[in-house]
């Protein structure tokens, strides 16, 4: 078996576990957590989004992927962000916990944004992200044929590495947005105590965009696109279409190329609380061995002096 193994992945996270059973070799992988409801969780992938909603915004998301597969990914993220005064500054904080088989990764980051007015109705935000990545890998959770194999002799315990990210976010308050970001520009490698097993964090780049069409006084339609690029991995492309009814109820669908079909639903339960749910049906061969993925999202917002009414934006 090749000694170098990339642990974090999207399409091949569970396959990573099978590598040890089937004695596969080197594995290139997408590493950051996957979100179907990324349009409500934008801050974790683009720091320039911090403060853009004009109020204190708290966001929580829980994703259970590939239900029915032992060791399948589970992700929890929490973020908060707010504008600071009226000078275009936004601040935020994000925490992500990702569990995949024997590995647990925790990310803690601070986000800073600065926004300039590019026209009467458009704004451009620049963002910076800084934080820490903490990785644990417990090989005792694996069924290893040879317990003396040096690749799995020592666990990886609380290996810490820095995170530095950047982002740009250009938007019209009610109509469209375009974002380009990389949550972590650094490529970091971790080794076990024997300097044998390598776990590599790859750089990711995200391009996103969306446009809101007002079909009537009570119905809005928003197509959106997310493209994710990772070093030495194929592009991951998400397309989605959401309808918003009476500023309260959202219904939509999404397609992740060569990966999954998704259904999305969300409710603006009150001026402060939004609840969202998404279900993914896996279109790959792995779909024969799991019952899909579930994602629950909550957003709670407080009004600020910057804005005294609910933000009508559909993003």
Domain map (residue ranges) of the chain: 13-302
Alpha helices in the chain (DSSP H): 13-22
DSSP labels for 32-50? SPP-TTGGG-GGGT-GGGT
Overall residue count recorded for the chain in this entry: 315
User: Is the overall model pTM greater than 0.85, yes or no?
Assistant: no
Tokens of 100: 């995949």
| CATH of segment(s) 13-302 | 2.40.160.40
What are the tens digits of pLDDT across the range 157-212? 888 999 999 999 999 988 999 999 999 998 766 555 555 555 566 788 999 999 99
**Residues 36 and 280 sit within 8 Å (Cβ to Cβ):** yes
Please give the Cα distance from 127 to 109 (Å, whole number).
Answer: 12
Helices (H) and strands (E) in the chain, counts: 1, 17
Least confident of 24-28, 118-122, 195-199, 212-216: 24-28
Least confidently predicted of 66-70, 84-88, 263-267, 308-312: 308-312
> From the CB of residue 148, how many other CB atoms can be counted at a distance below 10 Å?
7
Instruction: Encode burial over 167-204: b for 16+ CB neighbours within 10 A, e otherwise.
Output: bbbbbbeebbbbbbbbbbeeebebebeeeebbbbbbbb
Q: Which residue has the higher pLDDT, 299 or 29?
A: 299
pLDDT value of residue 203? 83
CB 40 within 8 A of CB 67: no
């Amino acid at each position: 078996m090749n000694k170098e193994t990339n642990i974090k992945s999207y399409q091949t996270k569970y396959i990573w576990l099978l590598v040890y059973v089937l004695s596969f070799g080197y594995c290139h992988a997408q590493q950051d957590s996957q979100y179907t409801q990324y349009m409500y969780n934008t801050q974790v992938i683009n720091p320039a989004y911090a403060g853009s909603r004009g109020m204190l915004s708290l966001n929580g998301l829980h994703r259970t992927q590939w239900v029915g597969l032992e060791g399948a990914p589970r992700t929890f993220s929490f973020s908060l962000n707010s504008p600071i005064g009226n000078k275009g500054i936004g601040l935020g904080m994000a925490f992500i916990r990702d569990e995949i088989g024997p590995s647990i990764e925790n990310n803690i980051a601070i986000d800073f944004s600065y926004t300039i007015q590019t026209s009467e109705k458009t704004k451009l935000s620049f963002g910076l992200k800084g934080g820490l990545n903490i990785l644990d890998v417990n090989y005792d959770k694996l069924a290893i044929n040879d317990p003396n194999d040096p690749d799995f002799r020592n666990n990886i315990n609380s290996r810490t590495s820095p995170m530095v990210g950047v982002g740009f976010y250009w938007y019209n308050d009610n109509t469209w947005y375009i974002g380009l970001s990389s949550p972590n520009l650094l490529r970091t490698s971790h080794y076990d105590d024997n300097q044998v097993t390598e776990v590599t964090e790859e750089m990711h780049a995200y391009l996103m965009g969306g446009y809101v069409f007002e079909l009537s006084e009570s119905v809005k339609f928003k197509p959106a696109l997310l493209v994710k690029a990772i070093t030495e991995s194929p592009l991951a492309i998400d397309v989605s279409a959401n309808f918003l009814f009476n500023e309260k109820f959202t219904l939509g669908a999404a397609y992740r190329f060569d990966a999954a079909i998704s259904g999305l639903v969300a409710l603006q339960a009150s001026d402060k609380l939004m609840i969202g749910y998404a279900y993914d049906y896996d279109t790959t061969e792995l779909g024969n061995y799991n019952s899909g993925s579930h994602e629950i999202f909550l957003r709670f917002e407080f009004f600020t002096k910057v804005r005294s009414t609910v933000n009508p934006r559909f993003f």
